[in-house]
């Protein structure tokens, strides 16, 4: 199977590219300049030219606060882009795996959101991602919609919390981290192989993929500092979400991953990413990407 990856310069896109390589799958990894998914004619022409056996959409506009101020880019990239891919995949009769987010939920729950829970987004980013899900479901019969949360570990991304924490820790004496926002950190190196597992079958539908367990940003930050040997160098303080400006975020967006399960917990995944960054390895799961 030849896999066409959009948004391939991003965190997850790069990891899906690497996971295809580890499995010996032929792939076409396209960054934004190579394929802008908002350009419907180019989407059609690119899929016709490469004739992939499946498409994985990792392209997205992830600026949550920016989406609140101006929803235009979010609608274009998170909703109309996936629609363009869905229409082209239907025409080519190939599966489309589209990546979505825990932010389609409002965060009011007290137990993990299942794939059967009706989504109710709290902010405009979430609304745009939900519209993208709906378009994919509507226009591509052979679809997978995979929601992930708090992605980290990718080399190309601007949104990796672990990288940001390490940078902040080297420049600041005190860090204040939100303690009333809980979700499941998810390593792109663990999620990407699971996306390929899905693509290898025909069990189409909606899925949740995260590392096991859940934590607040404060707990995650503490784990990162500990794993990086920086706990003594930086003072970590608890903060409340309401202290910071910007779009509302779901307070609790833990995803119930049934029927799937990533065996690796978020703490172990975090430590692997930090250890591999220190050693210069590209995939923290080791040679060939074999999960432990």
Q: Which residues bind ligand NAP (CB under 6 A)?
A: 6-7, 9-13, 32, 35-38, 58-62, 77, 81, 99, 101-102, 129, 148-151, 154, 157-159
- The residue assigned the tokens 């903060």 is 239
CA distances from 68 to 6, 63, 248, 252 (A): 24, 9, 9, 20
Residue number with CB closer to ligand NAP (69 or 235) = 69
- Residue 47 near residue 88 (C-beta atoms within 8 A): yes
Closest to 10 in 3D by CA, of 188, 207, 275: 188
Residue number with CB closer to ligand NAP (154 or 284) = 154
Query: In whole angstroms, how close is the CB of 173 to ligand NAP at the nearest point?
Result: 26
Eight-class DSSP state of 254: P
- State yes or no: is 207 an active-site residue: no
Residue number with CB closer to ligand NAP (164 or 231) = 164
Query: In whole angstroms, how close is the CB of 29 to ligand NAP at the nearest point?
Result: 11
Residues in CB range of 134: below 8 A, 6 or more apart = none
Residue number with CB closer to ligand NAP (159 or 231) = 159
Burial pattern 2-25, b for ≥16 Cβ within 10 A else e, equals: ebbbbbbbbbbbbbbbbbbebbeb
Which entry of 61, 103, 125, 218 is annotated as an active-site residue?
125
Query: In whole angstroms, how close is the CB of 235 to ligand NAP at the nearest point?
Result: 25
Q: Of all residues in this chain, which one has the CB nearest to ligand NAP in the complex?
A: 10
- Residue 177 near residue 225 (C-beta atoms within 8 A): no
**Torsion 196-283-213-136 (CA) sign:** negative
Residue number with CB closer to ligand NAP (25 or 38) = 38
Query: In whole angstroms, how close is the CB of 232 to ligand NAP at the nearest point?
Result: 28
- Give the tokens for residue 126: 């979430």
Query: In whole angstroms, how close is the CB of 106 to ligand NAP at the nearest point?
Result: 15
**Active-site residue set:** 125
């Amino acid at each position: 199977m030849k896999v066409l990856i959009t948004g391939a310069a991003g965190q997850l896109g790069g990891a899906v590219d690497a996971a295809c390589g580890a499995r010996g799958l032929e792939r076409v990894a396209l960054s934004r300049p190579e394929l802008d998914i908002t350009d419907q004619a180019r989407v059609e022409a690119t899929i016709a030219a490469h004739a992939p056996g499946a498409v994985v959409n990792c392209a997205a506009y992830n600026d949550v606060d920016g989406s609140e101020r101006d929803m235009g880019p979010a609608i274009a990239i998170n909703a109309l882009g996936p629609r363009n891919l869905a229409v082209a995949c239907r025409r080519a009769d190939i599966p489309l795996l589209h990546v979505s987010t825990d932010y389609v939920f409002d965060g009011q729950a007290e137990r993990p959101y299942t794939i059967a829970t009706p989504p109710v987004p709290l902010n405009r980013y979430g609304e745009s991602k939900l519209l993208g899900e709906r378009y994919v479901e509507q226009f591509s019969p052979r679809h997978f919609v995979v929601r992930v949360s708090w992605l980290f570990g990718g080399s190309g991304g601007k949104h990796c919390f672990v990288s940001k924490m390490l940078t902040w820790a080297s420049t600041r004496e005190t860090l204040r981290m939100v303690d009333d926002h809980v979700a499941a950190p998810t390593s792109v190196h663990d999620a990407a192989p699971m996306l390929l597992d899905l693509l290898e079958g025909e069990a189409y539908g909606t899925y949740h993929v995260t590392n096991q367990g859940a934590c607040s940003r404060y707990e995650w930050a503490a784990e990162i500092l500990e794993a990086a040997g920086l706990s003594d160098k930086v003072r970590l303080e608890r903060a409340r979400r309401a202290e910071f400006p910007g779009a509302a975020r779901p307070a609790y967006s833990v995803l119930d991953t049934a029927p799937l399960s990533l065996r690796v917990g978020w703490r172990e995944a975090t430590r692997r990413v930090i250890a591999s960054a220190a050693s210069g390895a590209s995939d923290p799961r080791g040679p060939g990407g074999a999960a432990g």
